[in-house]
Copies of this chain bind each other. A is one copy, B any other.
Amino acid sequence: MIAVDWGTSGFRAWRLGAGGRMLDSREAPRGILFVKDGRFAETLRAEIGAWLAAGERRVVMSGMIGSRQGWVEAPYLPCPAGLADLAMSLVRVPFGDADVRLVPGLTCADAAGVPEVMRGEETQVASMLGDGASTICLPGSHSKWVQAVGGRIMGFSTYFAGEMFAALRGATILGRMMTDGPTEFASFDLGVARSGEAGHLLHQLFGVRTLGLMGRLADTDSASYLSGLLIGHEVRAAMPADAEVDLIGAEALCTMYARAIASCGGRVGALNAGSAQRGLTMIGERVRWD
């Protein structure tokens, strides 16, 4: 079987043998944003053609390739949903002799009935669902906080902190003071602490400027402070009381989230126990192939 994680900016594929053993892998900067004129079939053939020629026929794909901007739109599956539900809901993509299928994204609604969506994260999360209840956080541009019970994703909530950070840094007066560099954890922690003080985020953001103006926040520390402020707001709003949170994501980002979770009274459980490769493998094992 071939597993493909095809997102907005990147493409990753694995050739899997018996028991999900990885035989080979590929990675390329060929996310759907970089595929011109809908040439998804050509792109896929260029990446995994050799494996198909060697006899592979089954391909499972997840990520933004199944979105409206992707190859074929795979409609969102409503929560609750687990591995079996995902495996039963794959969407076929015409592709020569191969049997290519897309994992659908998930949808749910928040307390006010506003829709939530994820695409790609469900596959990572599905790979680590246990029997009990768990809270899983996937930090990113649009962070996801997932509630799972008994092997199914019951619901989830999205936070805009990552893309907000980039926009505030790149397109506002707050970013003009910021220098590049590694995360300054002392300043990050000050930002997290600030998020717990009285006052709305929209007010506290202006403080990033005045603290700089008054010489109380160095230009080298300002980005880390802003990052802590935003992640702190997200964690305080999204994390259930006294929670243990499993984290899936890039190492540097998970380090920051783990720090904020601990500062806000939570505990970090598993770190990166879930992965797209493992989720695709587990979904593929449950598919009734032709």
Contact = CB atoms under 8 A, between A and B. Distances in A.
B234 A117 contact: no
B199 A201 contact: no
Contacts of A213: 68, 115, 117
B206 A142 contact: yes
Given A203-B158, A206-B142, A206-B158, A198 B112 contact: yes
Given A158-B206, A237-B202, A171 B170 contact: yes
Interface in A188-230: 194, 197-207, 210-211, 213-214, 216, 230
Interface string A163-188: 11011101111000000000000000
The interface centre, meaning the residue of A210, A233, A238 with most chain B CB atoms within 10 A of its CB, is: A210
The interface centre, meaning the residue of A201, A206, A210 with most chain B CB atoms within 10 A of its CB, is: A206
A116 B210 contact: yes
A68 B200 CA distance: 28
Nearest to A201: B201
Contact of A160 (B163, B171, B202, B230): B202
B111 A205 contact: no
B117 A157 contact: no
A125 B199 CA distance: 23
Contacts of A207: 110, 114-115
Contact of A199 (B110, B194, B197): B110
Contacts of A198: 110-112
A163 B173 contact: yes
A238 B203 contact: yes
Given A111-B199, A157-B203, A167-B172, 19 more contacts: A110-B199, A112-B194, A112-B197, A114-B210, A115-B210, A115-B211, A117-B213, A158-B206, A160-B172, A160-B205, A163-B172, A164-B168, A167-B168, A170-B171, A171-B171, A200-B234, A200-B238, A201-B201, A201-B202
Interface of A: 68, 110-112, 114-117, 142, 157-161, 163-164, 166-168, 170-173, 194, 197-207, 210-211, 213-214, 216, 230, 233-234, 237-238
